Amino acid sequence: MTLQEIISKPEYEFLKSNPHLGNKICLLGVGGSVSYGTNIPGKSDLDIRGIAVNSRADILGLSNFENFVEEETDTTVYGLNKIFKLLLNCNPNTIELLGLKSEHYLYVNHIGKELLKNKKIFLSQRAVHSFGGYATAQLRRLDNKAVRLVNQAQREQHILNSINNAFYTFPERYFPFSEDSIRLYVDKSSQEEYDTEIYMDVNLSHYPLRDYKGMWAEMNNIVKDYSKIGKRNKHAIEHDKLGKHMMHLIRLYLMCIDILENEEIVTYREKEHDLLMDIRNGKYLDKNKQPIPEFYEMVDEYEKRMGYAKENTSLPESPDEKTVEELLISLNEMALQIES
């Protein structure tokens, strides 16, 4: 059965009947493991991802369409205005939709083609923090016991990397502060149970207490996430999904490195297929289904590669928002012509 035949089945009727979708869809493609090339035939579900233009009322009036989600078929369709905001930050769940294999696009109209033609305007060094944030979230999903398999100094560095990815957005979300006002780093510890630990130098004056409390709470939550076993981790272990989490962690690094080094969005990981499938199928798990130290050595290596790629990329720190806005205006004008 072809992909086109699958989405013509009754359970996908909403793609035609929903008022936000139908002829407003400008791009529809395959997501998830099929789009990455890491699916297991007969076992992997089909995920559908897409983009729909906003209506005249969304663009000129009071209504607003951000996204449509249908959980039973694992389908998500983003509104054009909403996805542009996510693409500006190089959000991994949306940027990958611009880098699918040609055969994984189920439908692309003239608006979708124009978006794909200009996809590079969204690429910037923000990818380091967006992909890094998602990658470290995957890392925190791994069992507490697994994290302890790396040495304490490496584990402390993982925690700091997670905090730095969150910290990157603090100046936008909290009261502004200069770059040298808060400094986080790993240094030798004076505590017997630690070889190293995270330290901070803080130099803030007349700073709002509630904003500081918010930043501190976020950093504290990241530290706590590394020192407890969550329900999701337990579920992953019991249902043999730990390998899948591990695979996605490496995949995120690979995609980010491609963006930084080659200015390309490569969703389908053909070159690394065997490595990713080995990880997914448990090659890097021990007899207790815990990640072996070699896996964390791999993680460290890809973190270093991503850091090097960031320092040497020709991509700007942020996208040119004026150029992005001009594209959005142009696409919205096309959408209004369709509706008129």
pLDDT at 285 over 60: yes
Tell me the whole-structure pTM to 2 decimals: 0.74
pLDDT of 239 = 47
Domains: count for the chain: 2
Reference 214, options 169, 179, 257; nearest CA is 169
Is the same domain home to 143 and 251?
yes
pLDDT tens for residues 197-240? 999 999 999 999 999 999 998 888 888 777 654 444 444 444 45
What's phi and psi for 119, nearest 5 deg? -60, -25
- pLDDT digits 0-9 by tens, 168-201: 778 878 898 988 899 999 999 888 778 899 999 9
Q: Which two tokens stand for residue 310?
A: 């960031």
Question: Do 115 and 97 share a structural domain?
Answer: yes
Tell me, what's the pLDDT at 93?
92
115 with 134, same domain: the answer is: no
Positive or negative, the Cα torsion across 268, 269, 271, 274?
negative
Look up the CATH number of the domain holding residue 11.
3.30.460.10
* Model pLDDT, residue 111: 96
Same domain, 236 and 210: yes
Q: Give the pLDDT score at 160.
A: 86
Least confident of 53-57, 160-164, 301-305, 315-319: 160-164
Which of 232, 228, 222 minimizes the C-alpha distance to 141? 232
Tokens of 162: 């997670």
Reference 83, options 152, 28, 16; nearest CA is: 28
Q: How far apart are CA 275 and CA 269, in angstroms?
A: 10
Tell me: do 324 and 275 sit in the same domain: no
Name the nearest CA neighbour of 295 among 250, 248, 230.
250
Q: Which domain range does residue 242 map to?
A: 126-312
Residue 320 pLDDT > 90: yes
Q: Do 241 and 185 sit in the same domain of this protein?
A: yes
Q: Where are the beta strands (DSSP E) in the chain?
A: 25-31, 47-52, 67-70, 75-79, 105-108, 182-188, 196-202
The answer on 147 and 113 residing in a single domain is no
Q: 304 and 162: one domain?
A: yes
Q: Are residues 199 and 297 in the same domain?
A: yes
Say how far apart CA 314 and CA 310 lie, in whole Å. 9
